[in-house]
Amino acid sequence: MDDFLSELKSLFPDDRFYTDGPRMVPYESDGLTAFRARPKAVVIPENEDEIVATVKLCHEYEVPFVARGSGTSLSGGSLPIEEGIVIGLNRLNRILEVNTDDRVAIVQTGVINQQVSATAACHGLYFAPDPSSQTVCTIGGNVAFNSGGAHCLKYGMTSSHILGLKVVLPDGEVMFLGNDSLEFVGPDIVGLYVGNEGLFGIATEIHLRLLPLPETYRTVLASYSSLQAAGDAVTDVVSSGILPAAMEIMDRLAMDAADAAVHAGYPKDAKAALIVELDGEAAAVNAEFDSIIEIIEKSGADHIHIAQSAEERMLIWKGRKSAFSAVGRLAPDFLVQDGVVPRGKLGEALQSIEEIGRKFKMRVANVFHAGDGNLHPLILFDGSIPGELEKAEELAGEVLRLCLRLGGSITGEHGVGVEKKEYMAEMFTKDDLDAFHRIRKSLDSKEISNRGKMFPSGEAQSLSQHGLHPLEKAGVISRE
């Protein structure tokens, strides 16, 4: 054991410091299971002091670290590297305070997303960001990757819901950024911090903005004979002047998978399903919902199903949110992409994705946040056939380039991580990336915090094939 490891070992009891054995396995990969690496060590701190001591030691010895929560990243954001260590943060899982007057919850980094809303519910409040992995993903991970969800068009991404952060910078310095106010003075450094992909150190305590629970939800599921028709309906809704809380589209393949998994009751003959949801004050929402139904009736929907109860609404959403892992039933393996296109180009994008799929002779299922143009093509393949994974990756790359060509982004909510870092140079110029790099260096002169992520041409990652995340296979988590 080298000096670094001996010193690190001295900071933790044996049951919270591992260098080998089966306990290491869960930390070797995350939601992007095609990548895997064994770190030098895994430590499980239980408090901020242990985090600070660990980070300081890493800084001193120039050893890279990856901080992670539940490891649900779909971009390989919490993938370790062999010469580095993993800091597992799940034990910092306390909700420290719910301040109802200020609508703020103060939580530790390892708190599970859904627990915040569950705890705040008795005060009539909730935490709006709702990534599909919300039953297991941690707030620390949501902050690092600026997670999204189905309700981003109206409510914004995670960064719109973070007010303050206690952070341990990559050199071990502890700082508090932000405040408990929705307003701030000076540059929005909380805004800069959120979505840093783990490159700015570790947020240990997070001050979350809570919102009052909507009085009512009105949800409609409409089916169409083509994706194009569903897409046109989205345009009609958008032009109507009504702002929906969510608009989602699934194609036939995704519906089949979701139906098989959770019996969501999607129409059997439809080529596309559109979910539109409004939320808010009953009097206002009911008036708007009448208009939405009128628009959908005129849009040529074959079948319109209006959720009549909270249970029916949950079933519609359960089907949608389980679609990713459900697609796992259709093929041994899949890759999910996360590109964004301007909403008006959705039709063009979907058609091109279909053509790309044909070219590669691979099946692609589509589930997407139509309201904000965030695509989630699911590329199905069989990893046991040599070359299939590489082919799927190549197909994914073409989809990302397509999104850029149409004026969009390579990622809407999963982040760049390991998976998309080589595409950063296609989305940003050399000068842009250099500015990002200078910002990184100003906070992490040795570049030890989540080294190998976001920036192109870092150390090569070894591809391997491991299929679904074990938790997904068990049906515990699902993907956005």
CA distance 119 to 352: 44
CA distance 79 to 66: 7
Tell me which H or E stretch contains 313: helix 310-321
Residue 366 is a binding residue for other proteins (CB under 8 A):
no
Amino acid letter, 178: G
Residue 157 is a binding residue for other proteins (CB under 8 A):
yes
How far apart are CB 15 and other proteins at their closest, in Å?
35
Among 439, 456, 458, 467, binds other proteins (CB under 8 A): 439
Residue 204 is a binding residue for other proteins (CB under 8 A):
no
Residue 61 is a binding residue for other proteins (CB under 8 A):
no
What is the DSSP secondary structure assignment for residue 213, as one 8-state letter?
Answer: P
Residue 121 is a binding residue for other proteins (CB under 8 A):
no
Residue 183 is a binding residue for other proteins (CB under 8 A):
yes
CA distance 176 to 106: 13
Tokens of 378: 């699911």
Among 142, 196, 325, 461, binds other proteins (CB under 8 A): 196
Mark the segment that binds other proteins (CB under 8 A) among 28-36, 99-107, 254-262, 348-356.
99-107
Residue 429 is a binding residue for other proteins (CB under 8 A):
yes
How far apart are CB 417 and other proteins at their closest, in Å?
10
Cα dihedral 229/233/235/240 (nearest 10): 160
How far apart are CB 251 and other proteins at their closest, in Å?
20
How far apart are CB 450 and other proteins at their closest, in Å?
13
Contacts of residue 265, defined as CB under 8 A and 6 or more positions apart, other chains included, come to 259, 315, 319
Query: Which residues within the stretch 225-264 sit at the binding site for other proteins (CB under 8 A)?
Result: 235, 238-243
Mark the segment that binds other proteins (CB under 8 A) among 111-119, 245-253, 267-275, 437-445.
437-445
Among 82, 83, 407, 475, binds other proteins (CB under 8 A): 407
Query: Which residues within the stretch 408-427 sit at the binding site for other proteins (CB under 8 A)?
Result: 408-416, 420, 424, 427
Residue 346 is a binding residue for other proteins (CB under 8 A):
no
CA distance 291 to 303: 17
Q: Is 292 helix (H, G, I), strand (E, B) or coil?
A: helix
Nearest to other proteins of 40, 420 (CB atom): 420
Tokens of 458: 């870092």
Query: Which residues within the stretch 264-303 sit at the binding site for other proteins (CB under 8 A)?
Result: 280-281, 283-284, 286-288, 291
Closest by alpha carbon to 311, among 441, 450, 418, 217?
A: 217
- In 341-391, which ranges are E strands? 364-369, 374-381
Query: Which residues within the stretch 308-327 sit at the binding site for other proteins (CB under 8 A)?
Result: none
Residue 81, CA distances (Å) to 198, 220, 297, 451, 460 in order: 14, 45, 53, 8, 10
Residue 438 is a binding residue for other proteins (CB under 8 A):
yes
Residue 351 is a binding residue for other proteins (CB under 8 A):
no
Residue 384 is a binding residue for other proteins (CB under 8 A):
no
Residue 212 is a binding residue for other proteins (CB under 8 A):
yes
Residue 457 is a binding residue for other proteins (CB under 8 A):
no
Residue 214 is a binding residue for other proteins (CB under 8 A):
yes
- How many residues contact other proteins, by CB under 8 A? 97
CA distance 10 to 420: 37
What is the DSSP secondary structure assignment for residue 196, as one 8-state letter?
Answer: -
Among 25, 175, 310, 385, binds other proteins (CB under 8 A): 175
Query: Which residues within the stretch 4-23 sit at the binding site for other proteins (CB under 8 A)?
Result: none
CA distance 227 to 233: 10
Partners of 306 in beta bridges: 220
Residue 447 is a binding residue for other proteins (CB under 8 A):
no
Among 267, 373, 383, 452, binds other proteins (CB under 8 A): 373
Among 15, 101, 269, 311, binds other proteins (CB under 8 A): 101
What is the DSSP secondary structure assignment for residue 438, as one 8-state letter?
Answer: H
Residue 343 is a binding residue for other proteins (CB under 8 A):
yes
CB atoms within 10 A of CB 337: 26
Residue 55 is a binding residue for other proteins (CB under 8 A):
no
Closest by alpha carbon to 266, among 278, 254, 277?
A: 254
- In 257-404, which ranges are E strands? 272-280, 303-306, 333-336, 364-369, 374-381
Among 189, 293, 304, 476, binds other proteins (CB under 8 A): 189
Nearest to other proteins of 238, 249 (CB atom): 238
